[in-house]
């Protein structure tokens, strides 16, 4: 009888521990999803602002069309990656888009009428604010992913994670070109 009670006690404690581990992993998984949702909202807002910015720039006929085309193409790639939640493709497309936006802002320096345009200034401010927000949210997302990935690899949580098919999440990393210094000479050629 005493042996049965001890075994029952051990089983209850083990079950409680497994449930606690499982609930912790669920919490980590939802933390990653929440962080992604925050990025997704900002990406969508920026996606909606970019055509307006391109249109304002197009009003200046001599504005570098190749720069605008690169931004439009990168915007489409970001949208496709965002909708598919393809983190690797999103990082690459984001790098291209950020380079294109940097080029627009640098080239705009050569157009005083464009810089003085109130609509352009408002859009520039809005897009810059969204870029800063995306950078902040990306940091939060990557931290959430890191905590999740560590959580599913630690023993004994790895046993529960494997049992319920929890898999590693990918960090949101931008292309190496995004991290490189901007070559100002090439922007004004």
3-state helix, strand, coil in the chain (%, to 5): 80, 0, 20
Residues of the chain with pLDDT under 70: 61-63, 175-189
Nearest Cα to 53, choosing from 83, 77, 79, 75?
Answer: 75
Give pLDDT, residue 179. Answer: 46
3-state secondary structure of 101: helix
Token readout for 156 is 């004994």
Site of tokens 């042996």: 3
Separation of alpha carbons 136 and 141, rounded Å: 9
7 CB contacts (<8 Å, ≥6 apart)? none
Which domains occur in the chain, in start order? 17-187 (1.20.1440.20)
Tally of CA atoms within 13 A in the half-sphere of 104 that contains its CB: 29
Confidence at residue 176, expressed as pLDDT on a 0 to 100 scale = 55
Q: Please report the pLDDT score of residue 61 as a whole number.
A: 63
* Burial annotation 6-39 (CB, 10 A radius, 16+ → b, else e): eeeeeeeeeeeeeeebbeebeebbebbeebbebb
Return the pLDDT at 187: 40
Q: Which helix (H) or strand (E) holds 147?
A: helix 118-153
Contact 93, 70 (CB under 8 A): no
Is the entire prediction scored with pTM above 0.85?
A: no
């Amino acid at each position: 009888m005493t042996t049965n009670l001890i075994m029952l006690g051990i089983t209850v404690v083990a079950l409680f521990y497994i449930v606690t581990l499982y609930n912790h992993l669920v919490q980590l998984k939802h933390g990653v999803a929440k962080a992604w949702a925050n990025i997704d909202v900002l990406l969508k807002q920026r996606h909606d602002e970019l055509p307006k910015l391109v249109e304002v720039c197009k009003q200046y006929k001599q504005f570098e069309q190749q720069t605008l085309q690169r931004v439009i193409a990168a915007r489409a790639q970001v949208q496709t990656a965002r909708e598919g939640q393809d983190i690797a493709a999103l990082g690459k497309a984001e790098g291209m888009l950020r380079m294109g936006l940097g080029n627009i802002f640098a080239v705009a320096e050569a157009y005083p009428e464009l810089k003085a345009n109130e609509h352009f200034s408002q859009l520039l401010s809005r897009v810059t604010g969204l870029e800063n927000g995306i950078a902040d949210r990306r940091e939060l997302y990557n931290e959430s992913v890191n905590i999740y990935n560590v959580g599913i690899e630690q023993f004994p949580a790895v046993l529960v994670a494997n049992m319920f098919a929890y898999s590693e999440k990918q960090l949101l990393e931008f292309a190496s070109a995004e991290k490189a210094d901007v070559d100002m000479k090439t922007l004004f050629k």
